[in-house]
């Protein structure tokens, strides 16, 4: 009698992952049983000894009760089960010494993961592949790839995926683009990453915060070493920021010219500040300098707080006061622009009228911000160019006149437009000078005095104009209050003017004569030059060879020549030797007179291609001491804030994202952004974005869908 094991195959929908299950039904005697009633049953041949049938990672032990053999031709082989997860292609199954089924990585041979039943998932295997260097190398071809470098489209470099480098790049992006830490957990970014680089495992927001702070620590050490190697002095500026929660922060910035004669600006700290008192600010500055190990400081410029007597915010207050003098004309134009910008239909009609009345103008009307006088200037400049369009709009749109009269104003008249035009022409030099003075990417100390004197000349000319007389008089009173007396000015700015090879003392005399007249010019010139020589002598004392080094050189020379053999030997003519020594001393004094030599040489031609730092870099071997003095003086910043913020009287405010962070994280973001990108971003220019979006909208309307 022959016996078989009959297995019935059916799906079990109640098991996890809809796994296939096998069930042994029964062992029957086939003498009274019709095998045809089984539709292709799975039959397994049994040998004399006990064997195992492995089905879906489960082992079934079956005992063979007889020694009967089954003919080979009547036996069907069991179909092997293929796991559905792709991860099994990268792992190899095996049994350990205890008979437990495990698997290991085919690439690195690592891992002893259990896989003896369906209860063990594949998540740990997936995680292993993300860390397996051998697998990642195989996936990328085992070699680096070529790619264009960032910022240089014409330069190729080798590239290879690295998880750590990718995390550093992500932290770099969060800092530079001012993205919130929750950005890394956004569904859109994770989908984008899964398409572009599925090997990169995106970190969570807490890990990204740690990566950003680590980037801050690494960059800070680089900046520290860079400043230590700098041989020049450092000029410091302080600037005050405010958060949305009214918390105050003090930003301390270092300005210096490096050994390659490049102007540098680095934020040293961005610390929470409870008080604006001078004592508290001084303690904060001292603490920061000790932390950075900075000793060579030339100047410290305080921000535009009312408690500090500085000229940083003088110019913008003076111009703001002048604009108030023409308040009526400005208010009429401001209201007209505001009314048109309130409705898209009004903007559309105004644009259509402008195509006929002012076809050559492409700029859009802008609303101004009362606390930013440059925005008022730009608003008036654009509006007065659309004079004909406003007149056409008044004729075609009756509501325009009604609304403006209800507001207690009137339609802009010809005299109003003429007054606005004159004010714009008058304010343009102030706008240009302000941008030039408050720059941070180029030397500003050498042109500050010239710009201040040009402003006074502009005010004197405007006083003679009847339409600008009241504005100019009010501004001139403020100007003379601060810049009227030379003793109130910082003499370092005069030194910077003289150290410009295009100016020297000759141009200083011309400016003084134009400002004060010929009477008293020599006294003022002497006052400036005496102070400059005093500073120059300090540099000679600091940087000239010390007496100890001279003694060491003398001792070395004596040891080389040997000791005198005959102590009674005397020079044949000591008086002549003394004359030689006196002459040598005179030559030494003449050789270190670098300032006199510089002033006696002719001035350089003034051209657009002239670079003052490049000139001193080339001529520094001729003026070794004077060039050190020029390097430090040219590093002095005229402003404590960037040019984009100088027009504002409302101060600098942190955005909502930064305001919600702790002071430590805020400092890491602000400082790292400055070190990487070179500046701290200001408020977004929504007007500029609006103009760009308008142009994009026109291009989209031309597309065929």
Sequence-distant (6+) residues with CB within 8 A of 281 are 238, 250, 273, 302
Tens of pLDDT, residues 363-381: 888 888 776 777 888 899 9
**pLDDT over 50 at 238, yes or no:** yes
Rounded average pLDDT over 88-113: 86
Q: How far apart are CA 119 and CA 115, in angstroms?
A: 8
Contact 205, 661 (CB under 8 A): no
For 158-167, the CB contacts below 8 A with 24+ separation are 161/136, 161/197, 161/199, 161/200, 163/130, 163/199, 163/200, 163/201, 166/197, 166/200, 167/203, 167/207, 167/211
pLDDT at 44: 42
477-498 residues labelled b (16+ CB within 10 A) or e (exposed): ebbeebbeebeebbbbbbbbbb
Band of pLDDT at residue 687, cut at 50, 70 and 90: low
What angle is formed at CA 73 by the lines to CA 69 and CA 74, rounded to 5 degrees? 70
Q: How far apart are CA 553 and CA 557, in angstroms?
A: 6
Band of pLDDT at residue 688, cut at 50, 70 and 90: low
308 φ/ψ angles, rounded to the nearest 5 degrees = -110, 130
pLDDT at 144: 60
For residue 40 the two structure tokens come to 């292709």
pLDDT at 635: 93
Q: How far apart are CA 392 and CA 354, in angstroms?
A: 9
Contact 115, 101 (CB under 8 A): yes
Tens of pLDDT, residues 344-364: 899 989 989 998 888 888 888
Sequence-distant (6+) residues with CB within 8 A of 428 are 377
Sequence-distant (6+) residues with CB within 8 A of 266 are 223, 227, 253, 254, 674, 675
Percent of the chain whose pLDDT exceeds 70 = 69
pLDDT at 143: 55
**pLDDT over 50 at 3, yes or no:** no
Q: How far apart are CA 497 and CA 492, in angstroms?
A: 9
pLDDT at 112: 79
Please tell me the least confidently modeled range out of 96-105, 138-147, 414-423: 138-147
Q: How far apart are CA 345 and CA 63, in angstroms?
A: 90
Q: pTM to 2 decimals? A: 0.67
**pLDDT over 70 at 577, yes or no:** no
**pLDDT over 80 at 653, yes or no:** no
**pLDDT over 70 at 16, yes or no:** no
Max mean pLDDT among 104-108, 130-134, 533-537, 682-686 falls in 533-537
For 214-217, the CB contacts below 8 A with 24+ separation are 214/171, 215/168, 215/171, 215/172, 215/175, 215/668, 215/672, 216/667, 216/668, 216/669, 216/671, 216/672
**pLDDT over 80 at 534, yes or no:** yes
584-613 residues labelled b (16+ CB within 10 A) or e (exposed): eeeeeeeebebbeebeeeeeeeeeeeeebb
pLDDT, averaged across the chain: 75
Domain ranges of the chain: 5-81, 99-160, 313-423+641-650, 441-469+483-543+612-638
pLDDT at 129: 84
For residue 661 the two structure tokens come to 């962070």
Tens of pLDDT, residues 617-630: 999 999 999 999 99
Q: How far apart are CA 604 and CA 598, in angstroms?
A: 12
Q: Find, among 82, 125, 116, 71, the residue nearest to 98 by Cα.
A: 116
């Amino acid at each position: 009698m022959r016996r078989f094991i009959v297995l019935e195959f059916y799906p079990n929908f109640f098991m996890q992952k809809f796994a296939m299950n096998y069930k042994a039904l029964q062992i029957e005697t086939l003498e009274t049983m019709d095998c045809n009633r089984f539709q292709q049953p799975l039959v397994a041949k049994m040998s004399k000894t006990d064997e195992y049938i492995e089905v879906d990672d489960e082992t079934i032990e079956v005992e063979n009760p007889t020694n009967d053999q089954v003919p080979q031709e009547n036996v069907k082989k069991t179909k092997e089960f293929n796991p559905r997860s792709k991860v099994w292609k990268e792992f190899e199954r095996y049994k350990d010494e205890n008979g437990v089924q495990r698997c290991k990585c085919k690439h690195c041979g690592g891992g002893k993961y259990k896989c003896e039943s369906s209860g063990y998932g594949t998540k740990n295997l997936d995680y292993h592949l993300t860390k397996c260097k051998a697998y990642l190398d195989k996936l990328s071809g085992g070699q680096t790839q070529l790619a264009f470098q960032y910022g240089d489209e014409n330069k190729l470099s080798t590239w290879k995926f690295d998880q750590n480098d990718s995390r550093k790049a992500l932290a770099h992006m969060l800092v530079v683009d001012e993205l919130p830490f929750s950005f890394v957990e956004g569904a859109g970014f994770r989908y984008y990453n899964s398409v572009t680089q599925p090997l990169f495992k995106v970190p969570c927001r807490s890990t990204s915060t740690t990566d950003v702070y680590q980037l801050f620590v690494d960059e800070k050490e680089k900046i520290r070493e860079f400043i230590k190697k700098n041989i020049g002095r450092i000029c410091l500026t302080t600037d005050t920021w405010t958060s949305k929660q009214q918390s105050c922060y003090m930003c301390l910035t270092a300005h210096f010219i490096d050994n390659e004669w490049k102007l540098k600006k680095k934020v040293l700290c961005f610390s929470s500040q409870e008080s604006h008192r001078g004592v508290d600010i001084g303690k904060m500055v001292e603490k920061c300098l000790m932390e950075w190990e900075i000793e060579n400081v030339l100047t410290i410029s305080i921000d535009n707080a009312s408690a500090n007597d500085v000229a940083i915010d003088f110019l913008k207050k003076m111009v703001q006061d002048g604009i108030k003098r023409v308040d009526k004309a400005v208010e009429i134009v401001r209201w007209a622009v505001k009314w048109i910008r309130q409705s898209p239909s009004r903007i559309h009609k105004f644009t259509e009228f402008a195509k006929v009345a002012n076809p050559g103008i492409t700029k859009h009307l802008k609303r101004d911000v009362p606390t930013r006088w440059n925005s008022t200037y730009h608003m008036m400049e654009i509006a007065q160019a659309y004079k004909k369009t406003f007149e056409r709009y008044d004729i075609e749109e009756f509501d325009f006149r009604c609304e403006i009269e209800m507001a207690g104003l009137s339609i802009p008249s010809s005299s109003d437009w003429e007054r606005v035009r004159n004010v714009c022409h008058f304010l343009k030099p102030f706008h240009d000078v302000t941008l030039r003075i408050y720059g941070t990417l180029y030397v500003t100390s050498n042109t500050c005095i010239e710009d201040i004197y040009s402003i006074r000349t502009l005010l004197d000319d405007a006083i003679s104009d009847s339409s600008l007389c009241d504005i100019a008089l009010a501004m001139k009173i403020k100007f003379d209050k601060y810049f009227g007396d030379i003793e109130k000015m910082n003499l370092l700015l005069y030194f910077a003017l003289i150290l410009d090879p295009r100016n020297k003392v000759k141009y200083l005399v011309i400016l003084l004569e134009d400002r004060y007249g010929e009477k008293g010019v020599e006294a003022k010139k002497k006052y400036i030059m005496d102070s400059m020589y005093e500073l120059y002598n300090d540099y000679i004392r600091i940087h000239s060879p010390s007496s100890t080094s001279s003694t060491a050189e003398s001792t070395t020379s004596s040891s080389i020549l040997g000791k005198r053999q005959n102590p009674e030997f005397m020079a044949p003519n000591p008086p002549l030797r003394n004359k030689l020594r006196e002459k040598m001393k005179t030559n030494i004094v003449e050789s270190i007179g670098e300032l006199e030599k510089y002033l006696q040489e002719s001035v350089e031609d003034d051209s657009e291609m002239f670079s003052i730092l490049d000139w001193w870099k080339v001529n520094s071997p001729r003026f070794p001491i004077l060039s050190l003095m020029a390097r430090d003086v040219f590093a002095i910043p005229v402003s404590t804030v960037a040019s984009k913020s100088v027009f504002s009287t409302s101060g600098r405010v942190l955005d909502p994202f930064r305001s919600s962070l702790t002071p430590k994280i805020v400092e890491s973001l602000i400082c790292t952004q400055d070190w990487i990108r070179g500046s701290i971003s200001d408020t977004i220019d929504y007007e500029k974005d609006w103009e760009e979006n308008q142009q994009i909208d026109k291009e989209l309307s031309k597309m065929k869908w």
